[in-house]
Structure 1
Amino acid sequence: MKVLMLDDHPLILSALRQMLEAQQPGIEVAAAETPEQAKALLAAAGAQPFDLLLLDLKLGDEVDGFDVLAELRQAHPELPVAIVSATERLADVVRAVDMGAMGFVPKRSSMDELSEALSMVLAGGVFIPPALLELIARMQGRGDLGDTTITAARAQLAAADAAEAARRAAGHTAVAAVAATATTTAGPAAAAVAPATPTTALAALAASGLVPRRPDGLDALGLTPRQTEVLALLLKGLPNKLIARELNLSVETVKDHVAAVLRALEVNSRTQAVLAVSRIIQRATPAG
């Protein structure tokens, strides 16, 4: 296993290298502090290409991490990329996935979460922290993703939840008063029915299309072997033309398979597919 890390902070590179080497004995880790160094290492890899690129989106004031991601994805479409970044913007997470990143790991993550994420990505899975998935789903449901940061989103949703709880409490009080009156005048049979259970975070995710409304595990999707192969390549960010070339299929056939995969996941885009699969894998993976 060969991993290339691109980050302009030497201390971060050193810490990630130590973690990877502790997790995967025998792993080869190369580090680059600039896009030029990364390109040189990729070009020099030759017949032994890298298996994974860990990319920071913040590479200095004069470098746009998304431009680097786009350039590397175009030059090396077969190379899986995971973002390890300090960016706070939720839109950056969605944009990175939309551009082909297999996962997103905030640098503010705990060491345990970072270790879990890297293990999953190295095993070929996709990883986005569950808390981020829920924030993205709920903010998209509100139509308020925009430039919202993680911290701001949490504050906004906490305020919205508090307001909803207060509204629901007031509703319960009103219903109880009506029920008491009805019971007094018409007997117990006329008691009011309790309000419906409030929407949970998981239900919000399902409603937004980020999580399939199906049992845990990819097996429950009922994909054919060919559709499973297409999904695996889709998760790596490969466009339809490269998926067609990889599987020796026509582009039109690949489009049909991609459409079938999206229907099975109950999502509308590749980005949502990656987010949905990330959630499925995390829910199906035993804790600890």
Structure 2
Amino acid sequence: MQLLLIDDHPLIHLALQALLADFQPSVRLQPVLNIAAARAALQPGHGFELVLLDLQLHEEDGFAFLDELREAHPELPVAVMSASDSMSDVIRAIDQGAMAYIPKTIEPALMKEALELVVSGGIYVPSMRMTGVPPPPAPGQQAVAAPPPPRPQALDRLPITPRQQDVLHGLLLGKPNKLIANELGISADTVKDHVQAIFRALGVRTRTQAVLAVSQMGKVNQ
């Protein structure tokens, strides 16, 4: 597997080289220090199967480049790393099409598990016990009721059709409806209908909520 690592700290390059030395499938890691080098590496025929992007690049906006990657290479899975454990950052990254949000404080074994999940077609988000979650109401204030999260269940038990499973897989990869439609040979309107059926099955209203719900179920069916 060819993996493009975009991180401006050479020590991270060395650490990941060591961490992934026994990774299966075996990894050929190409590290770059900045976005310009990443663009140069991602020329036609690049061969990369996964991009690992640091969101806190020196004087560069990792979120903006995540958008650029999803637009220019919608078929290429992107996992992001960050020193931040803010829930708002997690949601923003997933909303922009990231397949994983990996805090840099994560244990090495968990990082490997996260990458294995992404490589196998799954998604990874860290524990929901993170900063950025609204605090409880102060004494005397009334709490605002929030809808309960969807109950985790196996993906193969979701009441959706095999075609909707295909659409769900594309959705989790951050692909837009038009690209999913082209790949499956169906209309964009049909994809939209399938997406709404998937949302109903998951008990969610948005793509980001769908990704977070599926992340609790484990691996995406291939």
TM-score for the superposition, normalised by structure 2: 0.88
Q: Residue 89 and residue 135 in structure 1: after superposition, are their counterparts in 2 closer, same or farther (change >3 A)? A: closer
For residues 191 and 204 of structure 2, the distance between their equivalents in structure 1, rounded to whole angstroms, comes to: 17
Would you say the 8 A contact 2:86–2:130 is kept in 1? no
For residues 48 and 58 of structure 1, the distance between their equivalents in structure 2, rounded to whole angstroms, comes to: 24
**CA apart distance, 1:32:** 1.0
Would you say the 8 A contact 1:57–1:87 is kept in 2? no
Residue 75 of structure 2: aligned partner:
78
For residues 20 and 69 of structure 1, the distance between their equivalents in structure 2, rounded to whole angstroms, comes to: 23
Which whole-Å deviations, capped at 9, do the CAs of 1:5-24 have from their partners, x for residues lacking one?
11111111221122223212
Alignment partner of 2:55: what SS? coil
What is the correspondence of 1:174-193 to structure 2 with a 5 Å cutoff?
Answer: none
Would you say the 8 A contact 1:104–1:128 is kept in 2? yes
Would you say the 8 A contact 1:51–1:79 is kept in 2? yes
Count the aligned residue pairs. 214
Residue 22 of structure 2: aligned partner:
22
Residue 222 of structure 1: aligned partner:
159
Residue 50 of structure 1: aligned partner:
48
| Larger deviation, residues 17-26 vs 248-257 | 17-26
Would you say the 8 A contact 2:85–2:130 is kept in 1? no
5+ residue gaps, structure 2, are 140-144
For residues 27 and 112 of structure 2, the distance between their equivalents in structure 1, rounded to whole angstroms, comes to: 15
Would you say the 8 A contact 2:167–2:194 is kept in 1? yes
Alignment partner of 1:31: what SS? strand
> What root-mean-square deviation, in Å, do the aligned CA atoms of Structure 1 and Structure 2 show?
2.3
Which whole-Å deviations, capped at 9, do the CAs of 1:213-232 have from their partners, x for residues lacking one?
35x21111122110000000
Q: Residue 280 and residue 134 in structure 1: after superposition, are their counterparts in 2 closer, same or farther (change >3 A)? A: farther
TM-score for the superposition, normalised by structure 1: 0.69
Which whole-Å deviations, capped at 9, do the CAs of 1:96-131 have from their partners, x for residues lacking one?
0000001111000111211211111121110112x2
Which whole-Å deviations, capped at 9, do the CAs of 1:184-221 have from their partners, x for residues lacking one?
xxxxxxxxxxxxxxxxxxxx99x343xx235x211111
The reply to whether residue 41 of structure 1 matches residue 47 of structure 2 is: no
Which consecutive segments of 4 or more residues in structure 1 shift more than 4 A?
Answer: none
5+ residue gaps, structure 1, are 145-155, 164-203, 283-288
**CA apart distance, 1:64:** 1.1
Residue 195 of structure 2: aligned partner:
258
Instruction: Choose 1 or 2 for highest CA Rg.
Output: 1
